[in-house]
A and B are shown apart, each in its own frame.
Chain A
Amino acid sequence: MRAYLILVHRELRGYLYALSSYVTVAAVSFLLGLGFVSLLEAFNGETLNAPLTEVFYDTMYFWLVLLVTPPVITMRLFAQERATGTFETLMTAPVGDATVVLAKFTAALAFYLVTWLPLLLCLAVVRGYIPEHHPLEWRPVASTFLGIALLGGVYVALGCLASALTRSQILAAVLALALGVTLFLVSFLRASVGAGTGGLAAVVNHVSLLTHMEHFVRGVVDTRPVVFHLSLTAWLVFLTVKVVESRRWK
């Protein structure tokens, strides 16, 4: 446990020292800002029935941030250590492979959540300027952030896995992005096969991230997507541990 905390601390410090993290935060803020502008336009003098978070979610920036940030954050985790050789000093310290993977995952997820904080600021600004009966309640905001965290967990774990597979950071990012987008696009299969009653339709409906997120931004927290995201994350982290261990049986 102590080694885990020390490693998380070290990774977070790594984010603090890297220029790329500031660029990431800036880029995400910019995208969220663009989303904020479209949100204001949607608001323009009209009464909205949908929660604010849902309006925001409908902008493409929301998904852009969700899909692109995790690979950028996670690409260096293992790939860089492998490329510079520090992987060897790290893995010959008295710590287990699983501890290292979990620590890196935790730090990346924490940094990912930090990049989303400007969204709270945007929502607070809106709240300050709209009249009494505003559709901005704390509950949908909380469930939105829960969704962002859960989905982020999946994507960050996917990024960890991609980074553990290669020593090239670029390759890791591209791989994570490709897998992530593929997973996201499965949601669109709903339009063609989701209406059926077969097993395939059930699977597609079950893994549709778009639907899950739609529920979260409306303030609906169902246990099924929660369990789905958590188990998918755990499975991806487990795979990453196995990949890191794989040097032993190669």
Chain B
Amino acid sequence: MSAEVPAPEPPLIEVRALTKRYGRQVAVADVSFTVGAGEVVGLLGPNGAGKSTILRVLAGFLPASSGTVRVAGRDVFLEADAVRRQIGYMPENNPLYPDLRVGEYLRFRARLKGLSRAACRARVDAVLEQCGLTDVTRKIIGTLSKGYRQRVGLADALVHEPRLLLLDEPTIGLDPHQLRAVRDMIRALARERTILISSHILPEIEATCGRVLILHAGRILAADTPANLRRQLRTRGEVVFEMAAPPAELEACWAGHPEVEHCACAPVDDGHVRCVLTPRGATDLRPAVYALAVARGWPLRELTRGQQSLEEIYLRLTRPEPEAEE
């Protein structure tokens, strides 16, 4: 064994200046990003932002209009077959053959993806187990519930042991239970594989991904971890508290405060007042509230600072512009 530092592994996905046009319409404009091995990355954006198009290009279904896309160092267009063996792709709406049985379908897909007869049997059994499909192996896909179909789609994407999973809206249309099951499954898969998930549902991405690319109108608006995005984009941290105090006096206290931009108080029940403070800068107003409570002897029963959720950030970034600036 040499003591040398191994050369850094090339990123598993390397997208450089990818542009995709459908006729005159530009679906993806000059998008570049990389995904390292073992990462779980979320593509987030409203419908029509270009998420599916990026995944389709990566999966080799559509070629790029310009730019290069490499998976594990190979061009997805020039070395299509080699790349496709490394990719497990689940398209949007998870299309399946409704006339086949679950086991039959997975065996067909495994064989089509180049597994030998023996390997096929072993792998199909493994993914059936992994995706919780052992009870429905002999059922016809057309009769399965949506949650089960989603699992069949995942099992298909996994059957040839790809290094990279591309999941296009994997939890769309699921009920909360099924959603949790599929999400847990994705999280379990994330331990051993690189995953690129697209979604327009935020909690989805927040729950499973280590990094988020926010897409809008074919461009990447932001790319970072959910926590960093939240930090970068937080401008206001409103403080909400409830105190047993005379409302007028309380409002007077904040009116002159240099750090407070706005104060709204409203009496709630049994003598308490609910107050929302908006800070002028990025100051945390909580200590000031506590200090006031101690100084005046007003009992304080709630004190929280609102965090801007990724959802708000997302909505702000991707809101359609009401008027064209520039």
Contacts and interface: CB of A to CB of B under 8 A. Distances in A.
Same assembly: yes
Interface of A: 2-3, 6-7, 10, 13-14, 17-18, 84-89, 91-96, 247-248, 250
B233 interface: no
Nearest to A14: B99
A140 B112 CA distance: 41
B22 to A, nearest CB: 7
B156 A89 contact: yes
Contacts of A96: 81
Interface stretch (B60-68, B186-194, B304-312): B60-68
Contacts of B112: 3, 6-7, 10, 93-95
B95 A248 contact: no
A243 to B, nearest CB: 16
Contact of A84 (B22, B92, B95): B95
A92 B97 CA distance: 15
A88 B108 contact: no
B96 A93 contact: no
The 10 closest A-B pairs by CB, nearest first: A85-B95, A94-B84, A94-B81, A86-B95, A92-B59, A88-B91, A17-B99, A6-B111, A93-B112, A92-B61
Prevailing SS type, chain A contact patch: helix
B84 A6 contact: no
B99 A93 contact: no
A84 B141 CA distance: 13
B114 interface: yes
Contacts of A95: 81, 112
Nearest to A17: B99
B63 A248 contact: yes
B143 to A, nearest CB: 13
29 contacts: A2-B111, A3-B112, A3-B114, A10-B112, A13-B100, A14-B97, A14-B99, A17-B99, A18-B99, A84-B95, A85-B93, A85-B95, A86-B97, A87-B95, A88-B56, A88-B61, A89-B91, A89-B109, A89-B156, A92-B84, A92-B87, A94-B82, A94-B85, A94-B113, A94-B114, A247-B62, A248-B62, A248-B63, A250-B23
Interface in B41-79: 56, 59-63
A17 B156 CA distance: 21
Contacts of B81: 94-96
Given A94-B113, A248-B62, A86 B96 contact: yes
Interface string B149-177: 00000001000000000000000000000
A18 B81 CA distance: 31
A85 B234 CA distance: 41
A26 B230 CA distance: 66
Interface of B: 22-23, 56, 59-63, 80-82, 84-85, 87, 89, 91-93, 95-100, 108-109, 111-114, 156
Contacts of A91: 61
A14 B99 CA distance: 8
Contacts of A17: 99-100
Given A6-B112, A248-B63, A92 B93 contact: no
A93 B113 contact: yes
Nearest to A3: B112
Contacts of B96: 86, 89
Given A6-B108, A250-B22, A250-B23, A92 B95 contact: no
A227 B294 CA distance: 101
Contacts of A10: 108, 112
Contacts of B92: 85
Nearest to A93: B112
A36 B96 CA distance: 42
A92 B23 contact: no
Nearest to B157: A89
Nearest to B80: A94
A91 to B, nearest CB: 6
A248 B113 CA distance: 21
Query: Of B61, B82, B99, which is in contact with the most chain A CB atoms at under 10 Å from its CB?
Result: B61
Nearest to A18: B99
A13 B140 CA distance: 14
A111 to B, nearest CB: 15
A3 B109 CA distance: 10
A247 B23 CA distance: 11
B89 A89 contact: yes
A7 to B, nearest CB: 7
Contacts of A85: 91-93, 95
Query: Of B62, B93, B112, B113, which is in contact with the most chain A CB atoms at under 10 Å from its CB?
Result: B112
B95 A93 contact: no
Contacts of B98: 84
A110 to B, nearest CB: 18
A94 B23 CA distance: 27
B56 to A, nearest CB: 7
Contacts of A94: 80-82, 84-85, 112-114
